[in-house]
Amino acid sequence: MTLFADALSWMLLLGGGMFCVISGIGLLRMPDLFTRSHAAGVTDTVGASMILFGLLLQAPDWTVAVRLVLIIGFLILTSPTASHALAQAALGDGYKPLLGSMKPTAGATKARS
Amino acid sequence: MRYLVSLGLLLITFWLVLSGHYTVLLTSLGAASVALVLWIASRMSVADHEMVPLRITHRMPLYALWLTKEVFRSAAQVSIRVLRGPQSLNPGLRPVRHGQTSSMGETILANSITLTPGTLSVRVDAEHIDVHSVDEAFIDELETGRFAARVRQLDTGA
């Protein structure tokens, strides 16, 4: 049982870590604020939850477990609020999102703000 | 009143679970803080069906499970686009009909859309949610109304 829990825990930790790294790459690679915030969203949701669930399986007693569950809950409630506020503030400030296909052939129509 | 009682029970549980110290001093401090919060909540009249959503609590676990599945699916799709690079993107920003009957339904839907990687609610009005997405395909999928129907089911039970 502990072997199974440990294996699952490590899978979650490594999987969550992998998503965080991909999300970090996305933050650097994406072309504008809105697309970057989508990349960051991967860390907010999948990355953080998988790591926290992985840690949950390693929790020494129930008080730690309850705290981890609460952290997941608060992250899930607060992160969309922050993303939404950021996006709305950017739009309200007149920041135009890049739209349409980013394929090099369509480069002529690409509008940079 | 019902909402204040539920809020009180929730706060008491919260304190007991997080504190972990059951001495007279700390427990009475907890009781005092809960009483203070309840007094402020009742004075501000904020303890209502939106603050303590009792009506939908029993439908929440199933929705959470379904949303988790959606979040993972979108996270995988966004990750693939990140690894392929910016050329694989086709960002879009357009209004999607939300079809919700209450402001709570609108809020839950808008936040669920934001929570799902790849889509982001930027504005909500009486009938639409403006959604930005890394790929138009994500918005096309929202337009099928599958997501909105799930939230309506959570919100109204129908």
ipTM: 0.81
Query: Structural domain tally of chain B?
Result: 2
Query: Which of A23, A45, A67 comes nearest B115 by C-beta?
Result: A45
Structural domain including B60 reads 56-156
B131, B143 Cβ separation under 8 angstroms: no
Euclidean distance between CA atoms B146 and B155, whole angstroms: 14
- Indicate whether B50 belongs to any domain: no
Same structural domain, B16 and B78:
no
- Indicate whether B49 belongs to any domain: no
A7, A15 Cβ separation under 8 angstroms: no
Report yes or no: A43 at the B interface, CB cutoff 8 Å.
Answer: no
Residues in chain A: 113
Same structural domain, B146 and B109:
yes
- Of A28, A57, A64, A27, give the one whose Cα is nearest residue A42: A27
- Collapsing DSSP to helix, strand or coil, A101 comes out as coil
Which tokens is B133 given? 């997405």
Q: Do A22 and B87 touch (CB under 8 A)?
A: no
DSSP B47-96: -STTTS-HHHHTTHHHHHHHHHHHHHHHHHHHHHHHHH-GGG-B-EEEEE
Query: Which of A22, A80, A102 comes nearest B90 by C-beta?
Result: A102
Euclidean distance between CA atoms A102 and B87, whole angstroms: 5
Same structural domain, B34 and B62:
no
Report yes or no: B122 at the A interface, CB cutoff 8 Å.
Answer: yes
Same structural domain, B67 and B30:
no
Name the residue in chain B with its Cα closest to that of A99: B91
Same structural domain, B36 and B65:
no
Neighboring chain A residues of B87 at a CB cutoff of 8 Å: 102-104
Per-residue pLDDT in tens (0 to 9) along chain B, 158 residues: 788 888 999 999 989 888 878 889 999 999 999 999 999 999 998 877 777 777 788 898 999 999 999 999 999 999 999 999 888 888 999 999 988 888 888 999 999 999 999 899 998 888 899 999 998 889 998 888 888 899 998 888 76
Tell me how far CA of residue B41 lies from CA of A9, A71, B49, in angstroms. 40, 24, 13
CB atoms within 10 A of CB B116: 25
Q: Do B91 and A70 touch (CB under 8 A)?
A: no
Same structural domain, B19 and B61:
no
In this predicted structure, what is the pLDDT of residue A105?
A: 54
Report yes or no: A16 at the B interface, CB cutoff 8 Å.
Answer: no
Neighboring chain A residues of B90 at a CB cutoff of 8 Å: 100-102
Q: Do B82 and A26 touch (CB under 8 A)?
A: yes
Q: Do B122 and A91 touch (CB under 8 A)?
A: yes
A72, A48 Cβ separation under 8 angstroms: yes
Same structural domain, B25 and B76:
no
Residue B44: burial class (beta carbons within 10 Å; 0-12, 13-18, 19+): exposed
Same structural domain, B105 and B67:
yes
Predicted TM-score (pTM) of this structure: 0.84
